[in-house]
């Protein structure tokens, strides 16, 4: 059996293991190690697996992951989420669908402090859903807002997925994080416009809030300063070149902790650190397993062979890109975002580079497709997380509530493909 054939067999075996319910960390590590064993023998395979994991997971670059996760937990205990949502409610509540739009704005704001979509959906669900329920908003619209708004946490920096993509693709993590700013703002504004149009057309979906004074609005702004400071600390330091992504993440985590101390009990601090450790261990376990498998694929030469074959077919690069994005749309129905990126990028990225597509543009587009997967059945993780918060709303209604947002996302992806300058504008102007 040739190395490329062995690589193809390993992909089939990996697919079967994942479909049977084996965790992605164990499935990829097993397939990768067995492949290396067959190609190089047991002892070289064991040595390669161990040195690959140790060499990559001790990388200084990956320190950004636990720091960003920690910053998100501290920001939650600092009350930034509730303050952002309350300010958005005061300023936007009088509009058609004002509370729903405020939920999107609150999610976008919290995304600038939290890089995990499921955590964002869970936190915003606890904050926004009771208020939406109180004013009689349609359940499908309410849960759809929170589930879709939560996905912005992996687009608007700091984004855990952007860091992982940059690590596996060997691209600038700082440039990738900054590349998510304009697509994230486009996503939030298009969600808000869609909601405004829906509620304007059908006011029965939920009422506007009346009686909010200008004093109430300006008073609510005092709760926004914390988020503004965090954004300036993290994004500002990276954009101006004052700090690397890892340094910026450390400063952001320290800033969030400083804001949280007046509101945080000792048990809250312990909980934040324990959740940070648990989340980081989960991510690193997946990264370790996939690294072994990717190392094996590199020995087979399969990614390079696929790239060479596609390039010689003469298919236009945009057509290939659209097919790849459709593949991600399909995979997003069954795999979580981290596993999907780690498994597919090493195979697909050589082809993307051969076709002359910017890897940073591709990374943002991949994350956008992951966002859609978080809202689509059967494995829409944000929907499952939100179901734990909105126990009285059926899973089917939550998925149906996400339908409008998925349609908006498809339009946004088309815009980003047609105008990649939207993605590249901010990173191309950053001070290096």
More confident residue, 225 or 102: 102
pLDDT at 266 over 60: yes
The pLDDT of residue 364 is above 90: yes
Q: What is this structure's pTM?
A: 0.89
Domain assignment present for 134: yes
Contact 176, 359 (CB under 8 A): no
Give residue-wise pLDDT tens across range 178-200.
Answer: 999 999 999 999 999 999 999 99
Mean pLDDT of 159-175: 91
Model confidence at 262: pLDDT above 80: yes
**pLDDT per residue over 105-140, tens digit each?**
999 998 988 878 888 888 899 889 999 999 999 999
CA distance 24 to 43: 24
In a domain, 154, yes or no: yes
6-14, Cβ contacts within 8 angstroms, sequence gap of 24 or more: 6/35, 6/38, 6/39, 6/300, 7/35, 7/296, 7/297, 7/300, 7/301, 7/302, 8/302, 10/34, 10/35, 10/293, 10/296, 10/297, 10/300, 14/293, 14/343
pLDDT average, residue stretch 6-10: 88
Helical spans, DSSP H, in 135-206:
139-151, 160-169, 173-179, 181-201
Domain membership flag for residue 206: yes
What is the arithmetic mean of pLDDT over 264-272? 90
Task: Find all residues with CB under 8 Å of 21, minimum gap 6, and list them.
Answer: none
Q: What is the pLDDT of residue 431?
A: 58
Percent of the chain whose predicted confidence (pLDDT) is above 90: 48
**38: in domain:** no
- Of 265 and 333, the structure prediction assigns the larger pLDDT to 265
Asked if the structure places residue 104 within a domain, the reply is yes
Predicted pLDDT at 22 = 86
d(CA 275, CA 281): 10
Q: What is the pLDDT of residue 205?
A: 94
The total number of structural domains in the chain stands at 1
Does residue 7 lie in a domain region?
no
Q: Which domain holds residue 346?
A: 61-429
pLDDT for residue 2 is more than 60? yes
Residue 268 lies in a domain: yes
The candidate with the shortest Cα–Cα distance to 48, out of 295, 294, 347, is: 295
| Mean pLDDT taken over the chain | 89
What pLDDT does residue 432 have? Answer: 55
Please indicate, yes or no, if residue 17 is contained in any of the structural domains. no
Q: Do you know the residue count of the chain? A: 432
């Amino acid at each position: 059996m040739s190395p490329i054939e062995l690589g193809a067999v390993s992909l089939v075996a990996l697919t079967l293991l994942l479909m049977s319910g084996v965790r992605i960390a164990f499935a990829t590590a097993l397939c990768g190690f067995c492949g290396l064993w067959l190609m190089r023998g047991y002892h070289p395979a064991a040595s390669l697996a161990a040195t690959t994991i140790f060499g990559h997971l001790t990388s200084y670059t990956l320190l950004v992951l636990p720091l960003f996760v920690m910053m998100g937990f501290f920001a939650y205990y600092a009350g930034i989420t509730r303050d952002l949502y309350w300010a958005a409610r005061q300023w936007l509540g009088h509009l058609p669908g004002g509370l729903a739009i405020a939920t999107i704005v609150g999610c976008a704001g919290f995304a600038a402090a939290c890089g995990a979509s499921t955590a964002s959906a869970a936190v915003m669900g606890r904050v926004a859903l009771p208020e939406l329920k109180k004013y009689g908003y349609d359940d499908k619209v309410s849960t759809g807002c929170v589930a879709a708004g939560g996905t912005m946490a992996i687009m608007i920096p700091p984004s855990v997925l952007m860091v992982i993509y940059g690590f596996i693709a060997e691209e600038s993590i700082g440039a990738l994080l900054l590349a998510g700013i304009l697509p994230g703002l486009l996503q939030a504004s298009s969600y808000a416009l869609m909601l405004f149009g829906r509620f304007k057309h059908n006011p029965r979906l939920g009422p506007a809030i009346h009686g909010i004074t200008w004093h109430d609005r300006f008073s609510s702004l005092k709760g926004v300063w914390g988020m503004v400071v965090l954004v300036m600390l993290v994004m500002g330091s990276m954009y101006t070149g004052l700090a690397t992504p890892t340094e910026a993440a450390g400063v952001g985590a320290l800033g969030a902790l400083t804001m949280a101390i007046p509101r945080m009990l000792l048990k809250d601090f312990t909980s934040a650190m324990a959740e940070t450790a648990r989340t980081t261990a989960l991510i690193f376990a997946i990264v370790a397993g996939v690294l072994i498998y990717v190392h094996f694929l590199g020995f087979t030469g399969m990614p390079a062979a696929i790239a060479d074959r596609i390039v010689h077919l003469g298919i236009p690069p945009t057509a290939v890109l659209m097919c790849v994005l459709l593949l991600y749309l399909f995979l997003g129905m069954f795999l979580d975002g981290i596993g999907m990126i780690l498994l597919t990028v090493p195979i697909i990225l050589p082809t993307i580079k051969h076709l002359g597509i910017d890897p940073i543009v591709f990374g943002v587009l991949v994350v956008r497709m992951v966002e859609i997967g978080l809202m689509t059945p059967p494995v829409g993780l944000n929907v499952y997380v939100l179901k734990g918060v909105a126990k009285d709303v059926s899973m089917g209604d939550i998925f149906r509530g996400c339908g409008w947002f998925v349609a908006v996302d498809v339009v946004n992806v088309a815009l980003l493909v047609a105008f990649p300058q939207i993605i590249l504008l901010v990173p191309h102007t950053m001070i290096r």
